[in-house]
A and B are shown apart, each in its own frame.
Chain A
Amino acid sequence: MSTINFATREINFKIVYYGPGMSGKTTNLVYMYSRLTDDRKGQLITLDTEQERTLFFDFFPLELGEIQGFKTRFHLYTVPGQVYYEASRRIVLSGADGVVFVADSQASRRPDNVESLRGMLENMASYGLQPGPVPVVLQYNKRDMDGILTVEDLDADLRADSWPRFASVATQGAGVLDTVRTVMKEVLSRFE
């Protein structure tokens, strides 16, 4: 839920990157962080395990700048994708204004994508967040790998008819900025 603070004159939005373990959520954040100039970003926080798997969340604030005297920023988060961390995943999703679902294109990960999306919708519902009023953007990541699903198969698995979607290679940055730009705009268009 976006927050408007008239005292500190700030407006904040929250965007959460969701998806199965190892799909590339952290890679998305790290890439966009590397591309933003210093005045556009606050500190990047990563709470991860020794194996660099997300344990709680990654986070950084993306500063849009000042609009009508209000400092406007998007708080970007990733959830931990590993099945085991369900409770933490749910916490991070709370209050999201927009969601990016990062799917892993590898055919072997097909059931994990489907299960993660199902969990995401269930967790959103538990907070009264409805896809639609809360925009969802899909990202089909790891398009550079062998043994990947076709875009049509991913579309069919992930109900892509209703949501904007992007193919990506997050490690190379392909599709990363298009995805974040789209979710930010979708969030903004619903602001009232």
Chain B
Amino acid sequence: MSPLSKVIMLSDERERIEDVLDTLIEKSGSLCAILITKDGHTISARGTTSFLNITALATLVAGSFAATRQVAALIGEKEFSILFQQGASRHVHISLVAGTAMLIAVFEDSQRIGLVRLHAKRAADGLAALMSVSRERTDREELIVAQFKEFASSLIDRIFSE
């Protein structure tokens, strides 16, 4: 792996990804749906998320998914494609998208698990298609790297002298 950065998604895919998440929320009756990368960065979050620290959620889900991937390897599986965590009143359904991202759905009615599973599967397929498109194109013109580095460097100095 080179230290070259990875471009997650381009602006024009944003709306299409949001549409897929909105459909999942609506059809499954979930509170929210969040798409994150394997390493725990948020790509998109839709629905009711004000009660949630999304960054923390993304990091923890990515960590636990990585851990279960190792568990899978230990028992001779490549990976587990779905994780489901059942609480007293809220539940989390996590599914793998194209091996590179994870789709998280939070919902309240445990009777809906079947619906959530069905629509999460459909959403994951839709997202996989969208994400393979964005991987093929890299359009970096919006970011002027030399200036970015200079400015970021001066911000670092400022933060630690505060």
Q: Is A17 an interface residue (CB 8 A)?
A: no
Q: Is B94 an interface residue (CB 8 A)?
A: no
Q: Is A100 an interface residue (CB 8 A)?
A: no
CB distance from A128 to the nearest CB of B (A): 4
Which of A112-120, A148-156, A181-189 sits within the interface?
A181-189
Alpha-carbon distance between A12 and B152 when the two chains are bound, in angstroms: 12
Q: Is B37 an interface residue (CB 8 A)?
A: yes
Which of A21-29, A91-99, A101-109 sits within the interface?
A91-99
How many chain-B residues does the 8 Å CB contact rule pick out?
48
Alpha-carbon distance between A188 and B156 when the two chains are bound, in angstroms: 10
Q: Is A163 an interface residue (CB 8 A)?
A: no
The closest CB in chain B to the CB of A88 belongs to: B67
Contact A1 B1 (CB under 8 A): yes
Q: Is B111 an interface residue (CB 8 A)?
A: no
Alpha-carbon distance between A29 and B30 when the two chains are bound, in angstroms: 35
Contact A7 B53 (CB under 8 A): no
Q: Is B160 an interface residue (CB 8 A)?
A: yes
Interface string of B10-44 (1 = CB under 8 A from A): 11011001000000000000000000010111111
Contact A133 B3 (CB under 8 A): yes
Contact B3 A134 (CB under 8 A): yes
Alpha-carbon distance between A6 and B8 when the two chains are bound, in angstroms: 7
Interface string of A60-89 (1 = CB under 8 A from B): 011011011010100100000000000110
The closest CB in chain A to the CB of B66 belongs to: A91
Q: Which of B41, B44, B56, B63 contacts A12 (CB 8 A)?
A: B41
Contact B3 A6 (CB under 8 A): no
The closest CB in chain A to the CB of B9 belongs to: A7
Point out the residues of chain A lying under 8 angstroms from B140, CB to CB.
4
Q: Which of A5, A95, A128 contacts B39 (CB 8 A)?
A: A95
Pairs A–B under 8 Å by Cβ, sample size 8:
A1-B1, A3-B7, A4-B6, A4-B140, A57-B63, A72-B152, A134-B3, A191-B148
